[in-house]
Structure 1
Amino acid sequence: MNLIIQKEKLYKLQSLIALFVLCIIISILSDKFLTVANGWNVLRQISVNICISVGMTLVVLTAGIDLSVGSVLALCGAITAGLLKNGIELPLQNLFIGFTLLGAIIIGLVFGGALGFFNGWVITRFKVPPFVATLAMLTMARGLTMLWTKGFPISNLGSNFDYIGTGWFIGVPVPVWISIFVIIIAMVLTTKTPLGRYIYAIGGNENAARLSGIKIHKIKLIVYTLAGGLAALGGLMVTARLDSAQPNAGTGYELDAIAAVVIGGTSLSGGRGSILGTVLGAIIIGVLNNGLVLLNVSPFWQQVVKGMVILLAVIIDRANAKND
């Protein structure tokens, strides 16, 4: 019995232990790692992944997956930037529609939620596997981004918008405050509301959840809509930080999000995991990315290392699932 209890404690602490060991190794290899400036830089960078990963966690808890978050991030960032800078021209009606900062932001977030809703609708209405449905959205959203931007960045968006990505508030970067707010809301949602219980129930056993009266389709629609909205929020943060909406923004972000979710202990089979675990996973991925850059590791090898980390995390997840 004591051995089982110790094993459970080790399983819960494995991500924290991995982060501690990773920090020690990088700090030994690079004297720039344990500096205040680099610490804030890491936190600012992982804020985007935290927002995306929280949405991904909600999806994975229902035994789903969302491969479109990177492309949705790029499209919503580009739409917000385009509306803010250029507005909408309707030559036939001799009409120009301008947008305030708040108006452009709201439309960007709503559009992200709408794309997520479309993912959920395709998955629930036509029984399309989440992998296929969101892979299709990945391609469509990336194509729409290229069409909207015509393949060119949309830059010089103004200091007020840039504040979202580069500003400071009470001595802390604004993106960090945004990610903290997202974390708190997600934790309350998953642990204190009926929606959170339904999400875990669906991932644990969808048939049992259906028989107990849970509206499976409605919950999945909500979950994918939230994932799309949070991807859009990440898009606003990236665009504001760069002061530019890049057509190829968000490439590979879905992999970092999935890695954060799995490393954080959320099972790809659904029904098991936590928001705090995902946050810890996102920190590990952020520290790993930062460490590889500080050590001047080739970007190509960085991809190899991250792929190996994801594979290892999935193998551990499968092993833990068998032992449950």
Structure 2
Amino acid sequence: MTTDTSQKSAPRASNIAETARRYALFVLLGLMLLGFWWAQPAFINSANLFSILQAVSVVAILGVGVSITMSAGGFDLSVGSVAASAVMAASYAMVVLQLDAVSTFILVLAIGALIGLANGLLIVKVGVPDLLATLSTMFLLAGLQLIPTGGRSITAGMVLPDGSTAKGAYDPAFLLLGRSRLFDIVPLPVVIMAVVAVIAWFLMERTRFGRVFYAIGGNETAAHLAGAPTKAYRLAAYIISGTLASLGGLIIASRVGRGDVSAGNSLLLDAVAASLIGFAVLDKRRPHVLGTVLGAIFVGVLLNGLTMLNAPYYTQDFVKGAVLVGALALTFGLGKRKR
């Protein structure tokens, strides 16, 4: 009788533990919201919550691109530099070249896609490892974006390196991208983040397109032998990542209203952290869009709450690292015990 009872209780305990792992990050997020609300009632008002979502929107968009490259067995270290280059390119296009909002938008997205294509060709055709190829691109872009302006930020009326004065200015229609609100409530960057997340989630989780990505990431040789065009898919992953990174840069440029040379300095680490924290969401132990977006929101809520409680700004990187370590330990440590 005792043996039967223990045999029945073992699967039940295992199911409870698995459920706890799957929804642990959701529970922690809920407890964190309640804790900050209790400590600072103003934290939970709609204006602050939308401010958090707006703050993490660019990180989440870049993180989705990183997750897609990771799902195909790669890793894009250049997303931060691509976003920063997009900020400078958008500013240069309007202030120096005097392009309108639509032309600037198309041009910058095309630049991001071309950078992604270059990354993909280095990896797929030349054979450079993903990390080395995208790291090289990161350093290349970090220097290249400073050359046209002599290392200075781009503003209306600035003096160019050749001695001439820039005659253009930011198109007011372009500024709407980062500063307008849907129904005067929801910031447009939050809407863009949601649209990107839903489309990427559907493609990666509900279509053959996404299943092939995960198959390549799991075993590229087996996927190739099964008939999957692995090189084309890996190339597509970096093009998507580059395009999303440039979209993030466009949002930053439209919010800031200038070509800031320091824009995008922390975006790479934040996007990678969001992607890796996402491994713990639903206990999937792999990159996925929902986990990445939730990871970005989790870190954003934590940092915003600590800021409202007057925590020193220099503790933010430590907090991000602690959250990342905790999420990975929860994912891989407990997952290993389960197996």
TM value normalised by structure 1: 0.90
Residue by residue, what CA displacement relative to the aligned partner does 1:47-78 show, whole Å, maximum 9, x if unpaired?
11121111111111123211111111010121
**Contact 1:115–1:228 (8 Å) recurs in 2:** yes
Q: Distance in 1 between matches of 2:133 and 2:299?
A: 26
- The equivalent residue for 2:70 is 60
- Residues 239-297 of structure 1 deviation map (CA, whole Å, 9 limit, x = unaligned): 11111121111112111111111212279xx9834311211111101112212322233
Q: Is the 8 A contact 2:57 2:190 kept in 1?
A: yes
Of 144-153 and 49-58, the range deviating more from structure 2: 144-153
The 5-angstrom pairing of residues 131-170 of structure 1 reads 131-155=131-155, 157-170=170-183
* In structure 1, C-alpha distance between the alignment counterparts of 2:119 and 2:303, rounded to whole Å: 30
Aligned to 1:93: none
Deviation at 1:320, TM superposition (A): 4.9
The CA distance in 1 between the partners of 2:38 and 2:128, in whole Å, is 48
Q: What does residue 160 of structure 2 align with?
A: none
Alignment of 1:72-83 (within 5 A): 72-83=82-93
The residue type paired with residue 141 of structure 1 is: L
Cα deviation 1:13-38 (Å, max 9, x = unaligned): 12211211222232233333112221
Q: Amino acid of the residue matched to residue 44 of structure 2? A: L
The CA distance in 2 between the partners of 1:316 and 1:271, in whole Å, is 10
**Alignment correspondent of 2:166:** none
8 Å CA contact 2:25–2:280 kept in 1: the answer is no
Looking at structure 2, the residues matched to 321 and 8 of structure 1 have their Cα atoms a distance apart, in angstroms, of 9
- Paired amino acid for 2:229: K
Q: Which residue of 2 aligns with 1:214?
A: 228
SS for the counterpart of 2:264 is coil
Aligned 8 A contact 1:45 1:286 in 2: yes
Residue 44 of structure 2 aligns to a residue in which SS?
coil
Return the letter of the residue paired with 2:182: F
Give the direction of change, closer, same or farther, for the CA distance of 1:191–1:177 in structure 2 (3 Å limit). Answer: same
For 1:265, what is the secondary structure of its paired residue? helix
How far did residue 321 of structure 1 move?
A: 5.3
What is the deviation of 1:45? 1.0
Shift of residue 168 of structure 1?
1.1
Shift of 1:148: 3.1
Q: Which amino acid aligns with 2:231?
A: H
Name which one, 1 or 2, has greater alpha-carbon Rg: 2
Give the match for residue 314 of structure 2.
300
The total of aligned residue pairs comes to: 312
Root-mean-square deviation (CA), in Å? 2.0
1:16 to 26, 30, 42: 26
Specify the code of the residue in structure 1 equivalent to 2:155.
S
Give the aligned residue type for 1:29: A
Q: What CA distance in whole angstroms lies between the structure 2 residues aligned with 1:35 and 1:251?
A: 30
Shift of 1:165: 0.4
1:110 aligns with 2:110: yes
Q: How much does 1:301 deviate? A: 1.4
Question: Structure 1 runs of 4+ off > 6 angstroms?
Answer: none
The DSSP-based 3-state class of the residue aligned with 1:214 is coil
Deviation at residue 103 of structure 1 after TM alignment = 0.9
8 Å Cα contact 1:264/1:278 also seen in 2: yes
2:153 is aligned with what amino acid? P
SS in structure 2 at match of 1:7: helix
1:160 deviates by 1.3
Task: Name the structure 2 match of 1:48.
Answer: 58
Q: Take 1:237 and 1:212, find their aligned partners in 2: how far apart are those partners?
A: 40
Name whichever of 29-38 and 211-220 sits farther off. 29-38
- Counterpart in 2 of 1:30? 40
Q: Match of 2:162?
A: none
- Do the aligned partners of 1:112 and 1:232 also contact (CA within 8 Å) in 2? yes
Partner-residue secondary structure (3-state), 1:246: coil
Identify the match of residue 16 of structure 2 among 6, 27, 51: 6
Residues 278-287 or 153-162, more deviating: 153-162
Deviates more, 1:17-26 or 1:209-218: 17-26
CA gap 1:102/1:296 in 2 versus in 1, 3 angstroms: same
Q: 1:128 to 1:22 in 2, by over 3 A?
A: farther
Is the counterpart of residue 315 in structure 1 residue 339 in structure 2? no
What is the identity, as a one-letter code, of the residue corresponding to 1:40? F
What letter matches 1:211 in structure 2? L
Structure 1 runs not aligned, ≥5 long: 88-97
| Residue 237 of structure 2 is aligned to residue 237 of structure 1 | no
The alignment's TM-score, normalised by the length of structure 2, stands at 0.86
